[in-house]
Amino acid sequence: MAEEIEISISPTGQVTVRTIGIKGPKCVQAAEAVAKIIGQIESRELTSEYYEAEGHISGQIEVRGRW
């Protein structure tokens, strides 16, 4: 599975960041890197991937979205 960071912005401006395929604490590191760009984190929810064996972050970012 590819490593992805999904960023959603609601009509009210609420930003949600979700990591996909990034295992272990590196998922938190990736989300925090995005948070430095978008601002303060209001809440955090760890998924089951957090508790899986770590992988690596490839360093490639693809931006997709509906504008």
3-state class of 32 per DSSP?
helix
Q: Is there a domain that residue 58 lies in?
A: no
Domain assignment present for 62: no
Asked if residue 34 is part of any domain, the answer here is: yes
Question: Does residue 66 carry a pLDDT above 60?
Answer: no
- The per-residue pLDDT for range 28-47, each reduced to its tens digit, is 888 888 888 887 777 788 88
Residue 35 lies in a domain: yes
Percent of the chain with pLDDT over 70: 76
- Dihedral, CA atoms, 51, 59, 8, 52, nearest 10 degrees? -10
Average pLDDT over residues 9-22: 86
Domain-embedded: residue 17: yes
Query: For the chain, how many residues are written?
Result: 67
Better-predicted residue by pLDDT, 63 or 4: 4
Asked if residue 33 is part of any domain, the answer here is yes
Tell me what pLDDT residue 64 has. Answer: 61
Q: What is the domain count for the chain?
A: 1
- Domain-located, residue 60: no
Residue-range definition of the domain harbouring residue 19: 4-51
Per the prediction, the chain carries an average pLDDT of: 77
